[in-house]
Amino acid sequence: MPPTDHPSVDNPVPGEIVCSRFFARPRDEVFAAFSDPAELARWWGPAGFTNRFHQFDFRPNGAWRFTMRGADGTTYEMNQQFTEIVRPERIILRHFQQTHDFVLAIAFAARDGGTAVTWAMRFDDPAEGERLRGFLARANAENLDRLAAHLALTTQKP
């Protein structure tokens, strides 16, 4: 049965994958890297992936459709829907893909002169989340590495 609420960032449950990262950047800037499709397309995905966005309607019930291309050339069609957006505190979206349906909650907390980002995925089928845990822990860390590199580039002055 699909979850009726978004993932907990404090108490992961079976089938839930949580990762966090601190960025020494203001919360508004970190949130913008997720909410601006031009910025998002530059860094979204694990290492070696690129994106082509087809639709990015950043509002509750808005669609986000895109194609991810892996380093090996394999393409992955992605279909997501934003379910909740509270600027600059959180983004919750629903990912639709056969056997990989999940809810992703991204929380942005202002802390110590920067922003703590907590990324929590809850799979409709907890067994599927557990099966993918190792891969997704690595892929999510790579995604956040790419965000860190993107944020570092945006602070460089000409």
The tens-digit pLDDT sequence of the chain (158 residues) is: 333 344 545 556 788 999 999 999 999 999 999 999 999 999 999 999 999 999 999 999 999 999 999 999 999 999 999 999 999 999 999 999 876 899 999 999 999 999 999 999 999 999 999 999 999 999 999 999 999 999 999 865 44
Rounded Cα distance, 121 and 84, in Å: 15
Please give the residue range of the domain that contains residue 40.
16-47+80-155
Residue 98's pLDDT is: 72
Residue 2's pLDDT is: 34
Do residues 116 and 22 touch, judged by C-beta distance below 8 A?
yes
Residue 149 counted as domain residue: yes
Residue 3's pLDDT is: 38
Q: What are the backbone dihedrals phi and psi of residue 138, each rounded to the nearest 5 degrees, phi first?
A: -70, -45
Rounded Cα distance, 30 and 111, in Å: 12
CATH number of the domain residue 37 falls in: 3.30.530.20
Residue 69 counted as domain residue: no
Number of domains the chain contains: 1
Residue 1 counted as domain residue: no
Residue 127 counted as domain residue: yes
Single-letter code of the amino acid located at 108 = F
